[in-house]
Structure 1
Amino acid sequence: MRGFATLMAMLAVIGLGYWAYHQTILTQQAERRVEQLQRDIGAERERLAILRAEWAYLNRPDRLRELADFNFDRLGLLPLAPEQFGRAAQIPYPLPEPEPDPELEAADEVLLDNASTPEERIP
């Protein structure tokens, strides 16, 4: 019996050792993946900063003004004038639709219920 308990204890130790080694390997792989993702994030942030700098460079007002002047005739642009700007109060917004009247709907239902022929039921 003592030999069986010793054998079981040794198998348990070997099994737990294998499990611990396997968990260590999985942890190391996860750490490497996290480090790779961190490097990728840093590279993308650098790329984003470069793109923002290029966007700011290309959208300089003096550059855009030169391009507009250079292509003025070809694009058919008109010079800006103060009369071209308006106020928000001058914008014709659509009117909201009126809400249905419950009394009229009830009256329509009564008329439909009292109609004797299908032609009379068409609203």
Structure 2
Amino acid sequence: MRTLFGILTAVVVIGLAYWAYGENYRTQDALAESRKVSNEIEAARSRLAVLRAEWAYLNRPDRLRDLAELNFDSLGLLHMTADHFGEISEIAYPVPVNPLFDEPVELSSDQLEMMQ
């Protein structure tokens, strides 16, 4: 009986060691993948920062003004004058909708008191 218990214990210990060994390698793989993704995210953030800086540089008002003046004729642009702007009275505001009641509405005595 003692021999059987010793063999069974050894088999369980070997099984647990094999499981722990496999878990260790899966953990190491997951950590390496996590580091790889983290590095990719950092590289993407760096590229995004460079792109934002380039966008800000290319959209400087003085540069755009110079480009517009340089290509004014080829783009068919018009000089801006006061008549290019509209009047406030020309704005079409939405008309408020007033609901129409086809049938009479009954009010309770509490609602009638509140209206008076």
Could you state the TM-score of these two structures normalised by the residue count of structure 1? 0.72
Shift, 1:35, TM fit:
0.5
Partner of 1:73: 73
Secondary structure, in 3 states, of the residue corresponding to 1:103? coil
Q: Which amino acid aligns with 1:13?
A: V
Partner of 1:101: 101
Cα 1:99/1:44, change in 2 over 3 Å: same
Query: RMSD over aligned Cα, in angstroms?
Result: 2.4
Shift, 1:92, TM fit:
1.5
For structure 2, the residue ranges without an aligned partner over 5 or more in a row are 105-116
Shift, 1:95, TM fit:
2.2
CA distance in 1 between counterparts of 2:82 and 2:9 reads 92
**What percent identity do the matched residue pairs reach?**
48
Cα 1:25/1:5, change in 2 over 3 Å: same
Could you state the TM-score of these two structures normalised by the residue count of structure 2? 0.76
Partner of 1:60: 60
Shift, 1:42, TM fit:
0.9
- Higher relative CO (Cα under 8 Å, sequence separation at least 6) belongs to 1
Larger helix fraction of residues:
1
1:14-33 residue pairs with structure 2 within 5 A?
14-33=14-33
> How many residues end up aligned between the 2 structures?
104
